[in-house]
Amino acid sequence: MQARIMVENMRKIPKTMATQHPDNANAHLFSGKAFVTTQEEVEECYNSFSKLDCHEFMWDWEGKHVDESVVDKLVESHSEYFSKNQLGRDIFLTFRIPNIWMEKGYRVARAFANLIAANDLMEGLGWNTPPLFELILPMTTSAQKLFFLRSKYSEIVKAFEFVKEAGPADVSLIPLVEETGLMMEANTLLEEYVRLCNQSAYKKYDTPYLRPFLARSDPALNSGLIPAVISVKAALSRFAQFSETSGIPTYPIIGVGSLPFRGGLSPNTINEFEEEYAGVRTVTVQSAFRADFGETEAESAIDKLNDGLNLKARQFSDEEYLKIKELEGIFSRHYLKTIEQLSEIGGFAKFVPARRERKLHIGLLGYGRPVGKVHLPRAIAFTCALYSVGVPPEFVGTGRGLKEAQEKGLLDFLLENYRGMPRELGFAGEFLNLENLGKLAAANPAWAEISKDAKICEEILGLEFEATNEDSQTHGKITSEILKKIGKGENVSEEYQKAAELRKSLG
């Protein structure tokens, strides 16, 4: 507790992190457009700080084009604001760098140079330094990779000769964990990283605190809704245990979108989300959250998040971890068995409207990455594609998983530790088009398994999936029209857009 107080006196821990995830259906208020160019992202960043009061902005170098002069442009265009709200002290700009083991490393070198240049700029202005001092490593799979990047930065900045005194001398690495198996053993990643930092022959690296980052979209894409949720909960428990035994505070970040499959955080679900993901200290506020619910609603919700996120994580016993692992295996097996047979998804995804200028993404399930016999799109496009044909991905494998969990005596444990499941499946059920599922199943029996999943969910959870309001009823009509037009080989991008506006998220 004393260590946590010292850290929080030393620096502000951000509660809300605005990101560039392209999941918005509607236009952004700062630009009046749904599509955001690379050049417009600087103004988007400023708007997220100044108008919406987000504490942090993730500047994404991974798999996309990026404006490398972001700090210069922010300061030059809005010097009065940033003189009063200084980077690295009051608000935070955090780079998500490419994973050099998956993408060419020259972009990381440019990101390193950006940190040094920003520090030099602020020193010249007499402002807070360092302005940037944390880096997010996507697809983190080992402590060695985290430590390698941290030590390489230290070597580069020491040898940097283009400024009088290069800095910051050190950076903190934020591990972004995107696989369910790694999440359930997340404490070992932190333990090994701290050991490497403490025993380095080059220099001793301080780790006064850690901000581990848990993905929610890619784990759901890879393994299904239930494995993604329970693996995050296991990780939050592991982080709490790590802090107790090591004395090093952890401030977990979670990457979530608005639809349940991608995390279920929207301005309408703040209270439920905080309770569901107790232990989280920072949440991503993605494009749909900021653009699709109205400016007043978004501002109010962000204020509430900035004042909240203080609940303690539930800590599981060894026996409970075994139950979580068994449940993860049950649900992911049923999910993958069906997903690998749905070759149509790639064709559906090509109609998803673009929202950013992206390079070819290299990720756990990047473009063209095979899963069994199918090539899946990225998580937002995948979610959008399935919702647009009336088949919310929340249901894939879930019913069969619930039935098996019930047979094995694990259902009560699952419901106790994922209390929002009936509510989130109820939300998805508003957009379920069983008629479309029947038509799809006529050509591919794998779709019939999803229809069974939905019926089993209704039976076990005591729910009834139907469109109960005007928006979801209209959504159902649009998804019927979408499937008809796809069958005729017609372009349905306009219908995808209309459906997304009704559910308040692209995907």
Q: What share of the chain has pLDDT > 70, as a percent?
A: 95
Above 90 in pLDDT, residue 498? yes
pLDDT digits 0-9 by tens, 108-136: 989 999 999 999 999 999 999 999 999 99
- Give pLDDT, residue 185: 94
Q: Are 373 and 341 in contact (CB under 8 A)?
A: yes
- Give pLDDT, residue 359: 54
pLDDT digits 0-9 by tens, 325-384: 999 999 999 999 999 999 999 999 999 999 998 654 444 433 344 555 567 899 999 999
Above 80 in pLDDT, residue 164? no
Region 391-411: mean pLDDT is: 98
Identify the burial level of 480 via C-beta atoms within 10 angstroms of its C-beta, where 0-12 means exposed, 13-18 middle and 19 or more buried.
Answer: middle
pLDDT digits 0-9 by tens, 250-272: 999 999 999 999 999 999 999 99
- Give pLDDT, residue 225: 98
Calpha distance 225→162 (Å, rounded): 49
Mean pLDDT of the chain: 93
Specify the pairing of strand 374-375 against strand 370-371: antiparallel
> How many C-beta neighbours within 10 Å does residue 182 have?
20
- Give pLDDT, residue 9: 73
Calpha distance 160→155 (Å, rounded): 9
Task: Report, in angstroms and rounded to the nearest whole number, the Rg of the chain calculated over CA atoms.
Answer: 23
Calpha distance 458→246 (Å, rounded): 44
- Give pLDDT, residue 70: 96
**Strand boundaries in 86-171, DSSP class E:** 92-96, 134-137
Region 274-300: mean pLDDT is: 97
User: Among positive and negative, which fits the CA dihedral 346, 351, 354, 359?
Assistant: positive
Q: Are 222 and 340 in contact (CB under 8 A)?
A: no
> How many C-beta neighbours within 10 Å does residue 104 have?
10
Please name the residue ranges forming H helices in 138-215: 143-159, 180-183, 186-199
Question: What is the 3-class SS of 226-289, one letter each residue?
Answer: HHHHHHHHHHHHHHHHHHHHHCCCECCEEECCCCHHHCCCCCCCHHHHHHHCCCCCEEEECHHH
All residues at 6 or more sequence positions from 485 whose CB lies less than 8 Å from its CB, including other chains: 491, 492, 495
Q: What tokens were used for 123?
A: 């020193």
- Give pLDDT, residue 361: 43
pLDDT digits 0-9 by tens, 87-98: 999 999 999 999
Q: Using 50, 70 and 90 to split pLDDT, how confident is the model at 102?
A: confident
- Give pLDDT, residue 125: 96
Would you kindly state where each structural domain of the chain is located, as residue ranges?
2-10+23-307, 318-503
Beta bridge partners of 214: 177, 254
pLDDT digits 0-9 by tens, 442-476: 999 999 999 999 999 999 999 999 999 999 999 99
Calpha distance 214→264 (Å, rounded): 14
- Give pLDDT, residue 398: 98
Q: What angle do CA 370, 374, 377 make, to 5 degrees?
A: 70
Say which amino acid occupies 464: E
Identify the burial level of 127 via C-beta atoms within 10 angstroms of its C-beta, where 0-12 means exposed, 13-18 middle and 19 or more buried.
Answer: middle
CATH code for residues 2-10+23-307: 3.20.20.60
Calpha distance 478→499 (Å, rounded): 7
Q: Are 149 and 132 in contact (CB under 8 A)?
A: no
Region 298-312: mean pLDDT is: 98
Above 80 in pLDDT, residue 15? yes
Calpha distance 323→413 (Å, rounded): 8
Q: Are 436 and 479 in contact (CB under 8 A)?
A: yes
pLDDT digits 0-9 by tens, 32-84: 999 999 999 999 999 999 999 999 999 998 877 788 999 999 999 999 999 99
